[in-house]
Amino acid sequence: GELVIPTRLLGSVLRDASTGEILEDQVTTDPADVERALAAADRVHREGVWWSVPLAERCAYLRRIASELERVEVQMGEADAQNTGVNKQLTLIINSTLKSAFQGIADGLSEDGVRSLYTGSFGPIEVQRKPWGPTVVLAPWNVPGGSVVPKVAAALGVGCPVLLKPSEWAPKALDLLGRAIHQAGLPAGVFQVLHGGGDVGSALVQDPRVASVNFTGSLPVGRKVAAACASQFKPCLLELGGSNPLLVLRDANVDAAAESTLQGMTMLNGQWCAGVGRILVHRSLYKQFLDALLARIRALKVRASADPECEVGPLAHPGHLAHMQERIR
């Protein structure tokens, strides 16, 4: 239930994606505080601090979180634009929708979904759906809140304590989320935010007190998460990037195909799991399609993320820029 500001340095800095200005040092939660958080989540679950709260009361907490989120949604949108380089008009829209995740879970949960009664051949059957236990949610840097808030809301709604780790490249918006949830007054240890790099994420995933893991991010890291969970028969949900090609078939409308391709290439500055990385075009449409797509690309307004005319902003951080440059060599 305490707000503890991490002071250990990761050895790198966070920069404004648009200007390169240094914003702050990257920090990580101390290992002792990671252990405290895991112990608290374990205690909360074992003692029924959260799952034993009547469903109607838990839903009331979720609605309070939604109200608190509304107070900080603009700050979250601005932070995402600054950390990720994504057009601020879009990050403001995304973050303005996050409160609906908590409202939707609160409105949709019912006792019927938690406990069901059936008539069996040898007597009545009762099915109870119990929360797994402490849930780890590992967030990506490309669209932090939009990726993980619905999962956080669902886990809290069904009675699981949640440990959220933002990406070290885009921590600000989810730090604000943590403070908003804190303001909603949930019992201590029900929701906790831990900062840091892969070592913190690995410690959380591998800890046997964690009952389930939700990861959004790259395929290589997803493989490691899956392997760590498999060794403990621990359920995990993976939302990973892919490289399935976009197909333009012989009977395609070339203008419509070029416009759709452009949207897939530029959404979130191309930094998203369904971004278009490869295009396979029928030979008969190749030149016509390429001309149509290049004409649209040349017309794009590449600006700083806060510029009202921005259609495509910069890549999120120097490491990702280097990765993309290596891919196109």
What are the percentages of helix, strand and coil residues in the chain, rounded to 5?
A: 50, 15, 35
Catalytic residue among 59, 160, 229, 273: 273
Q: DSSP assignment of 106-174, as one string?
A: HHH--HHHHEEEEEETTEEEEEE------EEEE--SSSHHHHHHHHHHHHHHHT--EEEE--TTS-HHH
CA geometry: angle 152, 168, 45, nearest 5 deg: 35
Q: How is residue 190 written in tokens?
A: 């029900």
Residue 20's CB is within 10 A of a number of other CB atoms, namely 9
Cβ-based neighbour number of residue 97 at 10 Å? 13
Spatial separation of the C-alpha atoms in residues 224 and 236, rounded to whole Å = 12
Q: Are 317 and 26 in contact (CB under 8 A)?
A: no
239 is annotated as an active-site residue? yes
Catalytic annotation, pick one of 70, 73, 229, 239: 239
- Cα–Cα distance measured from residue 161 to residue 36, given in angstroms and rounded to the nearest whole number: 14
Active site (catalytic) residues: 239, 273
